[in-house]
Structure 1
Amino acid sequence: MADLNKRLDEMEAAIKKPSFRASSGKANEVNYWIFDYPPERELEVRERIEYMKNKNSKGTDDFELVVFDLYDIIIDYLEEKNFMDKCFQFEQKKGLDRITKAVNNSMKINDDDSFIVQYIKDHTPENAVVFLTGVGKCYPILRSHKVLNNLHQAFVRVPVVMFFPGTYNEQELILFNEIKDDNYYRAFKLVK
């Protein structure tokens, strides 16, 4: 993996190109991208995304950069439904696997009309680039392959970049460079 700062510079330049926002991915599929990075550099990546979002908000780009922290979406949902205390109690009694299943069922994570997919659809303007962050913070409640697969089925109007703390080799995702997802992804690696 090339130097992270150089890759972040290349990614920032890439999303500004009209061709990036107009392309449709592999085999004329959805315009989905994964930017992988060393998990220990998470804070640097967060800072860069915040910098890019602030810079974009000045209106000098011809698109809107929309950042969705998947962890924040989950927490906001649980708080809105007054489920946080229930989740803590349920986890203590039944364990992490059961709370993961319960949250997944409540948010319909495995469905095309999942809460997260619907939230992203409802909060994304037409001329945008979507950044998905918080993948590592969500584990094991939300798996990146679920988000990508569900978005791929239901959301195709703008490019989506998932920031992934680990490794992506254009076939498999390895979260934190340790947890392998045995799924095939139809997404480009944004910058190698």
Structure 2
Amino acid sequence: MLTIADRLDKIPFILADSKFQSKEGLGNELNFHVFDYNPDEELLVQDFILELPERMLRVNTMKQIQIFNLYQIVIHFFERKKYIEKNFLMEERDGSEQLFNRMRSALKVATAQDEIVKYITENIEEDTIVIITGVGAVFSLVRSHVILNNLQTVVENRPLILFYPGVFCNGTLKLFGVFEDKHYYRAFQLVER
């Protein structure tokens, strides 16, 4: 069994491989991958992601990565709409469940106007490898399988890696190893455990 350090060390080499970048061997499937890890390894994974651009240079690839943190995207949305203070007041007045429902509604999660997907669409750069992080921080507000489904047409011609604090096995996403998400069959395991 590989340690988290061993698994993370493999990632730059995988991403630099031209076969990975061109979807070779995926049978015409999307180039979507999940890197699952134990939630208690979150800080190690976050540090690795920050170092990933430099590590990519060390393996002699010119391929750029672009990191989208779901939590930061959600915060950016509510700051831009000037909803942060209103959200605190609403929670105080109406309770957490009401706030949660209103936040999901404002983000239009799982609709054609999904604000997270819209943000990624507006900010994605050409010819990059897309990295999605922050899954655990937005848990229950945003579901991983929904984001992956909604990104299929946006990111269809490039690799996407979802860093997932939980278990991804046989198409099943299980956040924190506890909360089962719906199946997502179109992704592949990036590095076996």
Q: TM-score, normalised by structure 2?
A: 0.90
SS in 2 for 1:28: coil
1:184/1:67 Cα in 2 relative to 1: closer, same or farther (>3 Å)?
A: closer
SS in 2 for 1:132: strand
- The whole-number CA distance in structure 1 between the counterparts of 2:24 and 2:181 is 24
The alpha carbon displacement at 1:42 in A equals 0.3
- The whole-number CA distance in structure 1 between the counterparts of 2:25 and 2:138 is 26
The alpha carbon displacement at 1:172 in A equals 0.9
1:118/1:103 Cα in 2 relative to 1: closer, same or farther (>3 Å)?
A: same
- The whole-number CA distance in structure 2 between the counterparts of 1:24 and 1:90 is 50
SS in 2 for 1:40: helix
- The whole-number CA distance in structure 1 between the counterparts of 2:105 and 2:27 is 33
Larger mean CA deviation between 151-160 and 168-177 belongs to 151-160
Alignment of 1:1-192 (within 5 A): 2-23=2-23, 26-56=26-56, 61-192=61-192
The alpha carbon displacement at 1:120 in A equals 1.4
Counterpart residue type for residue 133 of structure 2? T
Query: What do residues 111-157 of structure 1 show as CA deviations (whole Å, max 9, x unaligned)?
Result: 23422112212222221101100000111211111111111244312
- The whole-number CA distance in structure 2 between the counterparts of 1:170 and 1:75 is 32
**How large is the Cα RMSD of the aligned pairs?**
2.0
Structure 2 unmatched runs, 5+:
none
- The whole-number CA distance in structure 1 between the counterparts of 2:32 and 2:154 is 13
Query: What do residues 33-69 of structure 1 show as CA deviations (whole Å, max 9, x unaligned)?
Result: 00000100100000011011344579x5321111111
Structure 1 unmatched runs, 5+:
none
- The whole-number CA distance in structure 2 between the counterparts of 1:103 and 1:84 is 10
Counterpart residue type for residue 147 of structure 2? V
The alignment of Structure 1 onto Structure 2 pairs a total of residues equal to: 191
Q: TM-score, normalised by structure 1?
A: 0.90
- The whole-number CA distance in structure 2 between the counterparts of 1:106 and 1:185 is 28
1:155/1:83 Cα in 2 relative to 1: closer, same or farther (>3 Å)?
A: same
- The whole-number CA distance in structure 1 between the counterparts of 2:124 and 2:67 is 9
- The whole-number CA distance in structure 2 between the counterparts of 1:95 and 1:25 is 50
Tell whether the 8 Å contact from 1:70 to 1:135 is kept in structure 2 after alignment: yes
- The whole-number CA distance in structure 2 between the counterparts of 1:92 and 1:145 is 31
- The whole-number CA distance in structure 2 between the counterparts of 1:106 and 1:49 is 29
Counterpart residue type for residue 131 of structure 1? I
Query: What do residues 72-91 of structure 1 show as CA deviations (whole Å, max 9, x unaligned)?
Result: 00001101111011112222
